[in-house]
Amino acid sequence: MDLGIKGRKAIVCASSKGLGLGCAEELAANGVDLVMNARTADVLNASADRLRETYGVKVTAVATDITTVDGRAEVLAAAEGTVDILVNNAGGPPPGDFRDWEMDDWNAAINANMLTPIELIKAVIDPMIDQRFGRIVNITSGSVKNPIPQLGMSNGARAGLTGFVAGLARQVAQHNVTINNLLPGQFDTDRINGLFKSRSEKEGRPADVIRAEAEAANPCRRIGAIHEFGQACGFLCSAHSGYVVGQNLLVDGGAFNSSH
């Protein structure tokens, strides 16, 4: 399917690898110019070079921390004017026991996974409204629908973003500006492998056994691939998704079972 967004301009945050990279690649494959971002310059530049060379789109790489005021300003400046598509993403908070978390830990999680996307939305949304096109996708987590006990900070911070977006999405939809959330289940990224490792250390069992159990428990009998996540993102960013508003789309192989 032609997504109808060739020549558009996107910011994809936290996109040197993992789910953000999957989204950036799908947009590049559909002719979208990109501002990509992550903190580690060499990994980011390697991914940006690959997408630029493979798809022939303009790719600007901005090595900065998207959770800081200055980092967001750098990324927005690199976009040079109106942004058509914004994919919000950042690293997820660490797992643990809430008794060990201090206010600073909570503030970091809320900043990264709630306030940072809201600040970026605030920066880009009015020009989107003026031009009657905008697509905003927030990468959140399956934990929004099915909270994961050991990821309490993620559960809490993402719930805040989800509630905010539910309201704003319905205020801007009339202008052909959509905001939706994409909820990953388990995808093959450094993040999920880190979580398997952390469980392995806690439970005293090999990480590959924990991973095999996760695969066996999924209706697809596997962990997701980042391009599959990117393809779902591509549709939400497409010209054809203007009537998909304020949704929380689970991409989890059917792991979460609910009839509504």
State the residues that interact with ligand NAP by CB under 6 A.
Answer: 14-20, 37-40, 43, 65-67, 89-92, 139, 141-142, 184, 186-187, 189-192
For residue 47, the minimal CB distance to ligand NAP (Å) is 8
CB of 13 to ligand NAP, least distance (A): 6
Task: Identify which of 161, 189, 228 has the alpha carbon closest to the alpha carbon of residue 23.
Answer: 228
Q: Which is nearer to ligand NAP, 57 or 153 (CB)?
A: 153
37, β-bridge pairs: 62
Give 196's Cβ-side CA count (13 Å radius): 19
- Residue (39 or 145) nearer to ligand NAP, CB: 39
The helix/strand count (H/E) of the chain reads as 9, 7
Name which of 8 and 17 has its Cβ closer to ligand NAP.
17
Question: CA-CA distance, 257 to 100, in Å (whole number)?
Answer: 31
Rounded to a whole number of angstroms, the minimum distance from the CB of residue 78 to ligand NAP is 13
Q: 56 burial class (0-12, 13-18, 19+ CB within 10 angstroms)?
A: exposed
The CB-of-133 to ligand NAP minimum distance in angstroms stands at 26
Closest approach, Cβ 131 to ligand NAP, in A, equals 27
Give the residue with the Cβ less far from ligand NAP, 88 or 241.
88
Nearer to ligand NAP among residue 35 and residue 90 (C-beta): 90
Q: Is the Cβ of residue 187 or residue 235 nearer to ligand NAP in the bound state?
A: 187
- Whether 137 and 182 have beta carbons less than 8 Å apart is answered as yes
Q: Shortest distance, CB of residue 107 to ligand NAP, whole angstroms?
A: 14
- 51's enclosing H/E stretch is helix 41-55
Between helix 152-172 and helix 116-131 the angle, nearest 10°, is 20
**Residue of this chain nearest to ligand NAP (CB atom):** 92
